[in-house]
Structure 1
Amino acid sequence: MKIFAQKLLVGRTFLANQTVTVEDGQITAIGGGGPADFSVWALTPGLVDLHCHGGQGFDPELNERPLPEFLTILLCHGVTDVLLTLGAEPLPTMRRALAVVQTAMQQQAAGKLPGAHILGVHLEGPFLSPERPGAMPPAALLPPTLAAYQTLVQGYESVIRQVTLAPELPGALELGAALAARGIRVQAGHTDADYETAQRAFSAGFTGLCHTFNACRPLRHRDPGVVAAALLDPNVTTECICDLVHLHPAALQLVYHMKGPEAMIAVSDSVATHGLPDGRYTVAGQDYIVQNGVSRCANGTLDGGGVYLDGAVRNLQSIGIPAQDACLMASTTPAALLGLPRTIHPGHPAVLVGWSEGWQVERVWRDR
């Protein structure tokens, strides 16, 4: 198979009028011109969402709508790989969700479940600060101990790829270091940590900040907090919800200029109500309002993000971030954190998104 692209993203550069040859799911060659089986305006690596709770009525903790339908919708938005994210809920609920994800991953390994590829689970809770719960139910939060973690994930250890912790809580640094030693990515989030505590966390195995600025101690000139610690540490990556609601464009530009596309990650943080028509919804006994595509709790607290990653790519460009960097922040950069080769290069998997002019997803290739 040959794919011709007017703009081909290779590294941090768009090459003009290139043809990508794919054989058995692998990129075997890149060259100029020539006949092709498909033609697109732009070709980039597949989008990788490390923070996605669900959408279109689906959530692994609720499982109200079919998972195959949701994964197919994600793929149509260019999301080829996803970490399904669990928020803080009662332990039985979270363990049922872990079972849902584990079963789905087994089905995908057997070639029986289409759509975006599930990479595993991101535990965004329950080890979070009651001072910064965001939309999380405070009653479901737990102190971070290794025993509590093991109780939660017993039998599902292999699917956990990322955990968000509030580093200021007693025991959090120890738990974070233990998880990092097991190869699990650990990030700070839903945290009231001050600058010094955040620095200690980033020296103890924490390597990221969950949805930067949101559900965090605010950045103040005499109290810079976890946000400043993350922005100033070159080894720390910063998640950003790019719906232009959770973050003002200037906040996104600040993170971009501080971190660059190699350390700023676009995430959707989409939830069950994302993608549903505007209206009022009751999910797991909680009331939510969707207005202009944005989901909020009944008390007005922002819930999940308002765009999938293709929308993030368009939004980032709309505020002046170059297209190649917007694409990298939604594909190659998050993929690298989990050891995935998501660059367009001979020998790498052909996990690709074709875009029309205007950056609408036109076609997705994902054979493996």
Structure 2
Amino acid sequence: MMNRLFLKNATVYAEKERIEQGYVLVEGEKIVDIGPMSSQPDVNGATVIELDSHHFVVPGFIDIHIHGAAGADVMDATTDALQTMATVLPKEGTTSFLATTMTASSDLIERALQNTAHYIQFHNRPGEAEVIGIHLEGPFISPKRAGAQHPRNIMEPNIQLFKKWQEAANGYIRLVTLAPEEKNGLELTAYLKEHGVVASIGHSDAIYEEVKAAIQAGITHATHLFNGMRGIHHREPGVAGAVLMHDEVLCEIIVDGIHVAPEMVRFAYRNKGSDGMVLITDAMRAKCLGAGVYELGGQEVIVQGEQATLQDGTLAGSILKLKDAVKKMIEFTGCTLEDVIRMGSWNPAKQLGILERKGSIRAGKDADLVVLNQEYEVVMTFCRGKLAYSK
């Protein structure tokens, strides 16, 4: 008998509408029906979850840029590390994510890719956040914009090496952060586009004209807007200016109030709107652990309060939780919960080409559901129909 779930009486943020006093019916891993309680279906044999109008049922969040959490890191290249991430992320409403690598030696990157591919094939299971692919961040970046990526391991963009890595990853590399202005950068960008991989400009020192050429070559994404890129100058719009002005580029943004000032989050939102942005955490292993000294991509990271930095003060990833990015985005910009769902669920699913099963609440899609209260705190998370977290 297939496991059935019936969430009732909540405000449901469905794909096409908001249903006050609505329900969601789940069978196995899928949503089978949604609607108003006035047209309640037969729920015989279902586990009934009684909610109320103060609860919002929203689609699970998709974090397409995350390195680690709770002491684990994708670069550890172990099943345990990915398992730890998959187990803790539903607490913040994240139901799927791209395992994100770092600029490291070729061997270490390859090990992390093989490990993630193996995990996706054999260890993804309902009740845990799903690893939906890999985000290769570096090593094809600009030495001038290394940020917390280890400068010793930066390499020129290289199609042959990428092919080898994609083979090691069993085709699961879905997104690549690169500096297209570097030698062979435009060639790699065009190759990625041709092979259905999202090419993202990031850790880049490109000037406006170089970004324009890169967009023509196939850039459709920008990695953590404003961070690790040439900023806006009134005589040279830089990477940040170019991606804000081109609607074909979807911008990631780290909304923790540290990586980007609240005013600049608002500025970006005014330019891109909820259709042009995606909320990410860029979190590292220190997330969920508190203050201390940690490791990221072979470098020491000091965590104090809400901030993670290298010894020289360079920001080194974040310890942000996606549920907090949601709250801060609403606070900084005055956007609606619908807007946040766009940026946290729909846009990443659309960008990765998985809208047929993720990114919104609709019959036939994966039952990746988050129940929020009026303070936007996570009350429950379901990953593919199975309870993954309950407050």
TM-score bucket (shorter structure): over 0.9
Q: Which residue does 2:172 correspond to in 1?
A: 159
Deviation of 1:38 after TM superposition, in Å, equals 1.4
Amino acid at match of 1:340: I
1:89 matched to 2:104: yes
Contact 2:150–2:299 at 8 Å: present in 1 too?
A: no
Deviation of 1:283 after TM superposition, in Å, equals 5.2
Contact 1:275–1:293 at 8 Å: present in 2 too?
A: no
Q: Which residue does 2:142 correspond to in 1?
A: 129
User: Match for 1:350 among 367, 370, 373?
Assistant: 367
Q: Which residue does 2:29 correspond to in 1?
A: 25
Amino acid at match of 1:14: R
- Per the normalisation by structure 1, the TM-score is 0.94
Q: Which residue does 2:389 correspond to in 1?
A: none
- For residues 157 and 103 of structure 1, the distance between their equivalents in structure 2, rounded to whole angstroms, comes to 9
Identity of aligned residues (%): 31
Q: Deviations over 1:170-197 (max 9, x none)?
A: 1001111011111101110000000011
Q: Which residue does 1:233 correspond to in 2?
A: 246
- For residues 183 and 131 of structure 1, the distance between their equivalents in structure 2, rounded to whole angstroms, comes to 28
In structure 2, the CA distance between the partners of 1:29 and 1:154, relative to structure 1 (3 Å rule), is closer
Tell which deviates more after alignment, 135-144 or 69-78. Answer: 69-78
Q: Deviations over 1:190-248 (max 9, x none)?
A: 00000011011111111011000000001011010111111111111000011111011
User: Match for 1:78 among 68, 93, 97?
Assistant: 93
Tell which deviates more after alignment, 338-347 or 169-178. Answer: 338-347
1:364 matched to 2:388: no
Deviation of 1:289 after TM superposition, in Å, equals 0.8
Amino acid at match of 1:367: R
Deviation of 1:301 after TM superposition, in Å, equals 0.6
User: Match for 2:49 among 38, 42, 48?
Assistant: 38
Amino acid at match of 1:259: K
Deviation of 1:91 after TM superposition, in Å, equals 0.8
SS class of match (1:7): strand
After TM superposition, list the pairs within 5 Å mapping 1:201-216 onto structure 2: 201-216=214-229
Contact 2:104–2:297 at 8 Å: present in 1 too?
A: no
Q: Which residue does 1:298 correspond to in 2?
A: 311
Q: Which residue does 1:7 correspond to in 2?
A: 11
In structure 2, the CA distance between the partners of 1:232 and 1:38, relative to structure 1 (3 Å rule), is same
RMSD of the alignment, in Å?
A: 1.9
Q: Deviations over 1:148-169 (max 9, x none)?
A: 3234444324111110110110
After TM superposition, list the pairs within 5 Å mapping 1:140-155 onto structure 2: 140-155=153-168
- Per the normalisation by structure 2, the TM-score is 0.88
- For residues 207 and 157 of structure 1, the distance between their equivalents in structure 2, rounded to whole angstroms, comes to 23
In structure 2, the CA distance between the partners of 1:114 and 1:366, relative to structure 1 (3 Å rule), is closer
- For residues 324 and 5 of structure 1, the distance between their equivalents in structure 2, rounded to whole angstroms, comes to 19
Show structure 1 runs of 5+ residues with no match.
Answer: none
* Pairs aligned (count): 366
- For residues 277 and 271 of structure 1, the distance between their equivalents in structure 2, rounded to whole angstroms, comes to 12
Amino acid at match of 1:326: V
Contact 1:278–1:291 at 8 Å: present in 2 too?
A: yes
Show structure 2 runs of 5+ residues with no match.
Answer: 386-391
- For residues 9 and 289 of structure 2, the distance between their equivalents in structure 1, rounded to whole angstroms, comes to 33
Q: Which residue does 2:294 correspond to in 1?
A: 281
Q: Which residue does 2:119 correspond to in 1?
A: 104
Amino acid at match of 2:31: I
SS class of match (1:87): coil
SS class of match (2:192): helix
Q: Deviations over 1:328-356 (max 9, x none)?
A: 21111111111223211223222211112
Tell which deviates more after alignment, 176-185 or 146-155. Answer: 146-155
In structure 2, the CA distance between the partners of 1:2 and 1:269, relative to structure 1 (3 Å rule), is same
Contact 2:66–2:100 at 8 Å: present in 1 too?
A: yes
Deviation of 1:359 after TM superposition, in Å, equals 0.9
Q: Deviations over 1:37-96 (max 9, x none)?
A: 113400111100110111111112125864322211012221111000011001111111
- For residues 278 and 96 of structure 2, the distance between their equivalents in structure 1, rounded to whole angstroms, comes to 14
Amino acid at match of 2:188: L
1:247 matched to 2:260: yes
SS class of match (1:92): helix
In structure 2, the CA distance between the partners of 1:169 and 1:318, relative to structure 1 (3 Å rule), is same
1:269 matched to 2:282: yes
- For residues 349 and 152 of structure 1, the distance between their equivalents in structure 2, rounded to whole angstroms, comes to 29
Amino acid at match of 1:186: A
Contact 2:9–2:37 at 8 Å: present in 1 too?
A: no
Deviation of 1:114 after TM superposition, in Å, equals 5.3
Q: Which residue does 2:75 correspond to in 1?
A: 61
Contact 2:97–2:129 at 8 Å: present in 1 too?
A: yes
Contact 1:53–1:270 at 8 Å: present in 2 too?
A: yes
